[in-house]
Structure 1
Amino acid sequence: MLDLRSAKKLDGLKLHARDGEIGHVHDFYFDDVQWRVRYLVVETGAWLVSRKVLIAPEAVSAVALATDEISVGLTKDQVRNSPEIDTAKPVSRQHEVLLRNYYGWPGYWNGLFASPGMMAPALAPTPPALSNEAGLAAETHRPEPRGDPSLRSAREVSGYALKASDGELGNITDFIVDRASWRIRYLVVDTGTWWSGKKVLIAPAWSEGVDWSASEVAVELTRAQVKSSPVYDPEKPLSAEYADRLHDHYERPRFSETASARDDG
């Protein structure tokens, strides 16, 4: 069953742990390689001095739009004692490793064991202990974990300009998230004055690249192609039939085909 959700409609939802409410969704962090949501940024409120915490989709057990709630398989104590991460700064890979080790979530950066529900492999046998001298040398030359420039804030990217091959299309106003894989399937683009503010969907896979410094996304489409595409109505559920019509219009593999090729990373 198709389960595509507007990120805006998920924003602000209350998060419930096994033993009570822990806060509400404030933002989403996604990676700009696979365009997959990697963390929900949760504003905890007064019970945790308004600290913001990161919760991976692996912890989400249910999303109930009818009651504006997201359930996670964690306890409030687990969240309280989790590694503190300053969400006002870029999240480093080192902090991600600490967080994922704490919760037991698998890493996603190697492209393995990243789908929700998949388990990390068993740990390799511990190697023989090094001599003091060799151990000191190994510690000295151990590479530092690099920062993770691929994590992006949905709040920040919302508002980016979208450019066709022959001019501007509009601005990104929302993201359509596949709840089964937490992959961003479409960018919602407000066309502004050039097409009466109609909204259209563009898949990240159709982009030629993102200029993060200029806050622009370029797509290999013309304005005429976009203007003749099926209009997106955010007030209506996004159906598989609409998605297939959209992909047919752009002569791209149908959503049902691309989604079934999922989703290993």
Structure 2
Amino acid sequence: MTASCRGRLNSLSLLQRCKVTGNDGDIGHVRLALFDTVDWRIHFLVLESSPWLFGRWVLILPSLLLQPIERGSMHMDVSRRTVRTSPTLHPLQDISVQQARSALLHYGQPVPPAADVPLLIETALLDCELSSGGLGIGRVVDLVYDDVDWTLRYLLVDTAAWWPGGHRVLIGVRWIEAIDIEAKQLRLSVDRAAIRASPPFQDIASIDREYESQLHRGHGRDRYWIEPPLAA
């Protein structure tokens, strides 16, 4: 058994403000992340290009971005020409299966049979109301992802509506039982008692393995990572 390769945990709100540069100049800014709710992987990012490309919205693969985010900027190991010819996404339209396939082919990636899995944008989950057992849990205010494998890990939830003086907490995305995007409702498999016992969220930089372990223990959940073997 080997340890999993772990990146830093970052928020999509921070990623959304990031400037992206290419091998021959500025490309644009990240506007949206597109992910599925099967394995919660971020498949694509949507960039609003700089004036050099007339502000077009284009699809890129997150694997092309060199991490970590430094001072609100990331570098993408491609040329402007590659971005210029990448699939364009209309700001008011969802990504189609054909656009997803075209983007993978454009960047030289294989198109898996599951490429037609419906993709959501991060704004679909923001402001969703969470409930458990018919009781309100809170409202989604941000999403937290791993910046190496580009997988969503947590919802950042504001609990103030039912817990006066309460704090913001992290909820694992895999603890979601049901999603109703149109109604902006998420049903969870955790309860208020466990939420109250959750370690308070301070900031992204404060999330470490000890914090995550405490969070998972409090909810009676298995940890998603693989621990390295103990030294003999």
Equivalent residues of 1:2, 1:240 under 8 A apart: no
Cα RMSD, aligned residues only: 2.0
Spell out the pairing of 1:115-130 with structure 2 (5 A cutoff): none
- Report the counterpart of residue 216 of structure 1 in structure 2: 185
- Report the counterpart of residue 17 of structure 1 in structure 2: 22
| 1:169-228: CA deviation from partner (whole Å, max 9, x where unpaired) | 111111110112111011110112322351111111111111122111100121122111
Aligned pair 1:192/2:160, yes or no?
Answer: yes
Equivalent residues of 2:34, 2:42 under 8 A apart: yes
Aligned pair 1:95/2:109, yes or no?
Answer: no
Spell out the pairing of 1:143-158 with structure 2 (5 A cutoff): 148=116, 150-158=118-126
Select 1:159's aligned residue among 127, 131, 146: 127
Whole-angstrom CA distance in 1 between matches of 2:95 and 2:196: 38
- Report the counterpart of residue 228 of structure 1 in structure 2: 197
Amino acid at match of 2:217: D
SS in 2 for 1:110: helix
- Report the counterpart of residue 54 of structure 1 in structure 2: 59
Which is higher, the Rg of structure 1 or of structure 2?
1
- Report the counterpart of residue 107 of structure 1 in structure 2: 111
Amino acid at match of 1:27: L
| 1:85-137: CA deviation from partner (whole Å, max 9, x where unpaired) | 324212111111112111112335538xxxxxxxxxxxxxxxxxxxxxxxxxx
Whole-angstrom CA distance in 2 between matches of 1:104 and 1:20: 22
| 1:45-75: CA deviation from partner (whole Å, max 9, x where unpaired) | 311111111111121123333x211111110
| 1:33-52: CA deviation from partner (whole Å, max 9, x where unpaired) | 21111111111131111111
Whole-angstrom CA distance in 2 between matches of 1:94 and 1:49: 23
Whole-angstrom CA distance in 1 between matches of 2:161 and 2:127: 15
Select 1:45's aligned residue among 50, 75, 84: 50
SS in 1 for 2:161: helix
Amino acid at match of 2:149: S
Q: Which consecutive residues of structure 1, in runs of 5 or more, have no partner in the other structure?
A: 112-147, 261-265
- Report the counterpart of residue 131 of structure 1 in structure 2: none
Whole-angstrom CA distance in 2 between matches of 1:193 and 1:84: 40
Q: Which consecutive residues of structure 2, in runs of 5 or more, have no partner in the other structure?
A: 1-5
Whole-angstrom CA distance in 2 between matches of 1:4 and 1:160: 21
Whole-angstrom CA distance in 2 between matches of 1:193 and 1:161: 10
Whole-angstrom CA distance in 1 between matches of 2:107 and 2:193: 48
Aligned length: 222
Among all aligned residue pairs of Structure 1 and Structure 2, give the percentage whose two residues are the same amino acid: 30
Equivalent residues of 1:25, 1:43 under 8 A apart: yes
Equivalent residues of 2:124, 2:181 under 8 A apart: no
- Report the counterpart of residue 35 of structure 2 in structure 1: 30
Compare relative contact order (CA 8 Å, sep 6+) and give the higher one, 1 or 2: 2
- Report the counterpart of residue 141 of structure 2 in structure 1: 173
